[in-house]
Structure 1
Amino acid sequence: MKHQTVDQLNAVADVHAEATVLFASRGQRLERWAQLLDQDPGRRLTALAGTEYATPEVREKMRAAGSPITVAFDDPIFRAQGLRDDTYGEAKRFFEMSDWQLHEVVCHCHVGANLPARWAASRVRAAISPGAGIFAWLRGVFMH
C-alpha cells in the first residue's frame, strides 16, 4: 500500500474526512438523510409499490429511480460510509430501520406513485425517535 497525503488523494478522489465521524450514529445518519431531502422540499420522489406485500426476498431488492432512498445514495458521504445502492434492503441495513419505519418513508400506499421530498424528510425524522410517531410526522409536515 502506498502512503499518500490528503492533498494527493484530493487530486484523484472526492475525499470527505468527516464521513466517518459526523454521521457515525443511526440518528446522525437519519438526520442527514432528512436534511438531504429538505434541500429540495417540493421535489417529487418516486414511491415504492407494495413493500408490505412483498416477500422479504423481493422487498430487499426493491428500488425505484428517484426514490427517497436514491436521494441518500446520491450523497458521496453516505456512499463513503458504506451505502452500497438504493435498494430497500440496503437502506434498511444502512439506516438501521425496521420494515415498518422504512415502509412509512418509501411506500406508495400513503401517497400514491410519488411524494414530496418534505414529506419523506418528516417520516425519516419520525424514525429517529420512534416513540414520537404521529406527532413527529405532523410537526415535520406543518413546520416545513
Structure 2
Amino acid sequence: MEHRPLSELSSVADLKSPKEVAAPVLSKRERLDRWVELLEREPDRILKTLDEIEWKPKAQRRALRADGSALTIAYSDPVLRTAGLLSDRFGDAVDFFEISEHDAHIVLCSCHGGEAMRADEAARRVRGIRSPGLWALYFGWFR
C-alpha cells in the first residue's frame, strides 16, 4: 500500500468530508416499512409500551421513552438514524415517521398493549398506520 498526503490524493480522488455526505432520503412509506422490517426480525421479542400517553401534557408526552420499546428498535437502526431519527422519544418518532400522535398512540401506548407487547404485534400496528385503508384487515375493526 502506498501512502500519500491528503493534498496529493485530492488530485486523483473525489474526497468529501463527512459534512458533505448526504443522509439517505427515505419516503414516509420507506421509513415505516423499515420500522416494520426491524420489528419482524425478532417477532417474539417482548417490547415495553409507553405508559398512558394520552394523559400526559404535550411536553411530557413528546419526551416519553422506554428502554426496549418499539421506538428503541427503530432508533437502534443505523439506516433510520442516518435518515434523521433523532432519538427513541415519542415526539422525535412522530416527527420522523410523519405520523399523528393518535397513530403513534395506537402503536406504542400501554392502553393498547398492556405493559408489554410482542414485536410482531407492534409491526402489525405500524402496518395499520402505514395503510389506514387496511385497518380492518390488520385489526378486525374500523377506524
TM-score (ref. length: structure 1): 0.80
Aligned to 1:52: 54
Matched length: 128
* C-alpha separation in 2, matches of 1:56 and 1:134: 29
List runs of 5+ in structure 2 lacking aligned partners: 1-6
* C-alpha separation in 2, matches of 1:105 and 1:5: 44
Larger Rg: 2
Give CA-to-partner distance per residue, 1:121-143, whole Å, 9 cap, x none: 000011111222232335xxxxx
Give CA-to-partner distance per residue, 1:75-108, whole Å, 9 cap, x none: 0011111111100000000000101110011001
State the shift of 1:5 in Å: 6.2
Give the aligned residue type for 2:65: R
* C-alpha separation in 2, matches of 1:116 and 1:5: 46
Query: Residues 1-144 of structure 1 correspond to what in structure 2 (within 5 A)?
Result: 20-21=24-25, 24-138=26-140
Q: Percent identity?
A: 39
SS of the residue 2:51 aligns to: coil
List runs of 5+ in structure 1 lacking aligned partners: 139-144
CA RMSD of aligned residues (A): 2.5
* C-alpha separation in 1, matches of 2:58 and 2:123: 25
* C-alpha separation in 1, matches of 2:61 and 2:51: 10
4+ runs of 1 displaced by more than 6 Å?
2-6
Give the aligned residue type for 2:32: L
* C-alpha separation in 2, matches of 1:5 and 1:44: 46
